[in-house]
Structure 1
């Protein structure tokens, strides 16, 4: 949860980190299961060296404040930086708001980037979520027919963001119910399966290209519904071969495997926290502050993301998208470590405000060590 600056709390901290089932799924007891490949034309291509697509997640929407509201001007600048400075060939355009999602996808396509368009409207009625998906999917199909390289993801970790699967009106309530062990997992899985099938059918009805979904690494998903297996991956293993062993499980369907999110925060010990690194911030305080005297370390973040990227390259996976490009409401305070919220951000850039104490003030981002490290890797492999 993050503070909007006007006294209201909201769930953007969780949204940006996807609550990343690395912590919650273990608590809830969820486990993965496999199905045979069945989607026509979806077979994994012959093994090739290295990743086919290398990119970054670009998040729009949820939990905006006046100072972080979406801007077409900023978006165009960011897309150019993703292509020309980060040397990415792929952008995961995710979040809510059809107009800004489609505008960003169109800009990225015009710049020659491959687009993974992933609408993620959360905490809304299921019918609204599917209509939001359908409208974005229709636009993605128009881009595809015009020759753009685009894929459609029907969403992200539905059990968390879609009401009616896990008890709870909001993300936070659903998380608490899972953590408390009060959720009956079998009925929950049936509800999840039904909505996932509806989302896949909605995507197929409007989009003729490759269809995917972004699941947490321990989710149970019927991958027969999709052409691409998408995994949000935040595991911490001391040995490279342990990552390989874990990722092999997701290749058994014979379909392309995309790492739809990977990354960590910029403090010592963050990789061990997995997808829960954002918990380093105490949002009960006003203003929010970093817990427990953590030590900022951009090097830790850079080494983790490049280490994982090397694993993905060695396995010849389909795609990998670092999470994330920018987190506008996680301000970097170099002179005030206790309130340096960027420390607990997964962003590969750091946000600096003209007035750090005013959440509505203008801001800009600067590159973190992880940005430079990924840019070197992406540039080396080439688009």
Structure 2
């Protein structure tokens, strides 16, 4: 993937100034880049939620990676401008909690786990999260949270360990009252509720598909293609983003981070629907590469309808 400091500065500047975002959720596996992203966002006056991610590595490696990320975040923290996220959906992405050798195995297999196995799974999850909080608290003195998959593990996590309830919120309901009831489950802890991720992809039915919207891209084909029957739909994405921002305002949450603004790994192909990977993107912009098949190719950004919906809310 193409990456440069100039590009980082430009895109963080866009998020801070053009989209008027006061806060950003910075995540990644490369801790050097994570620290640089944090520093850049802080220079633009943003609050930063620092979230290290390390997929399919041993629990010990994940905890060591988290500890180093927490040390870096503490060095950058001034007061409350940096908060720390103790990873994301560990029950899927970290081995040893759910059965399955890879996170894709675990995602595909989670629906088939017998009910009798869940108490042991919850126990393993809570044991790991206790360790994650311990290593984080040793290195970081600010506020901490966790990127929890809303709906999947609402009863798993002991939020008393954290300063904020952190949700990856891809729930879909037909009425606002259902959102009120669903989010109300997290108020019992008396903690601020922060949505760390929300959004949907760019096709008809994407709002209901939620966090699995990306699965419309068939990675087994060579090259990958959008699956048959999927219709590009920028209006559905825009309407869902606008609706969720309104719901979060009504519920008086601490804040919400959209996933995502730019997805250069899912470029738009205006002439080939089967390879219009932006259909599977959650981003506000289409990334249009100069050379479509070259991952290192420069790209330009074209706003989608969701960009305008998001900007109208913030501006």
Normalised by the size of structure 2, how large is the TM-score? 0.95
Aligned to 1:24: none
Deviation (angstroms), 1:148: 6.4
Matches within 5 A, 1:139-154: 139-145=72-78, 147=79, 149-154=81-86
On the 8 A contact 2:168/2:198 being kept in 1, the answer is: yes
User: Within the alignment, does 1:164 sit opposite 2:96 as a pair?
Assistant: yes
User: Within the alignment, does 1:137 sit opposite 2:70 as a pair?
Assistant: yes
On the 8 A contact 2:198/2:259 being kept in 1, the answer is: yes
Aligned to 1:11: none
On the 8 A contact 2:86/2:145 being kept in 1, the answer is: yes
Structure 1 runs not aligned, ≥5 long: 1-67
**In structure 2, distance between residues paired with 1:246 and 1:180:** 24
**In structure 2, distance between residues paired with 1:76 and 1:182:** 48
Determine which of 146, 150, 171 is the counterpart of 1:235.
Answer: 171
Matches within 5 A, 1:212-231: 212-218=145-151, 219=153, 220-231=156-167
Aligned to 1:374: 310
On the 8 A contact 1:153/1:212 being kept in 2, the answer is: yes
Aligned pairs, number: 311
Determine which of 199, 214, 229 is the counterpart of 1:263.
Answer: 199
Normalised by the size of structure 1, how large is the TM-score? 0.78
On the 8 A contact 2:27/2:52 being kept in 1, the answer is: yes
User: Within the alignment, does 1:293 sit opposite 2:246 as a pair?
Assistant: no
Aligned to 1:331: 267
On the 8 A contact 1:88/1:375 being kept in 2, the answer is: no
**Greater fraction helix:** 2
SS at match of 1:252: helix
User: Within the alignment, does 1:272 sit opposite 2:205 as a pair?
Assistant: no
Mean alpha-carbon deviation: is it higher for 147-156 or for 107-116? 147-156
Higher relative contact order (CA 8 A, sep 6+): 1
Matches within 5 A, 1:119-134: 119-134=52-67
On the 8 A contact 2:226/2:274 being kept in 1, the answer is: yes
Deviation (angstroms), 1:217: 0.8
1:337-363 Cα offsets, whole Å, 9 max, x none, are: 121110111111111111223334322
On the 8 A contact 2:201/2:207 being kept in 1, the answer is: yes
Aligned to 2:240: 304
Aligned to 1:204: 137
Deviation (angstroms), 1:366: 2.3
**In structure 2, distance between residues paired with 1:206 and 1:244:** 36
On the 8 A contact 2:80/2:142 being kept in 1, the answer is: no
**In structure 2, distance between residues paired with 1:185 and 1:371:** 40
Matches within 5 A, 1:308-319: 308-319=244-255
Structure 2 runs not aligned, ≥5 long: none
**In structure 2, distance between residues paired with 1:143 and 1:366:** 33
Determine which of 25, 45, 48 is the counterpart of 1:112.
Answer: 45
1:180-201 Cα offsets, whole Å, 9 max, x none, are: 3268222211111111010011
Deviation (angstroms), 1:265: 0.7
Deviation (angstroms), 1:301: 0.5
Determine which of 75, 95, 102 is the counterpart of 2:8.
Answer: 75
> CA RMSD, aligned part only?
1.5
Q: Residues 69 and 124 of structure 1: is their aligned pair in 2 closer, same or farther, counting only changes over 3 Å?
A: farther
Determine which of 32, 44, 47 is the counterpart of 1:99.
Answer: 32
Mean alpha-carbon deviation: is it higher for 310-319 or for 274-283? 274-283
**In structure 2, distance between residues paired with 1:285 and 1:156:** 28
Deviation (angstroms), 1:245: 1.2
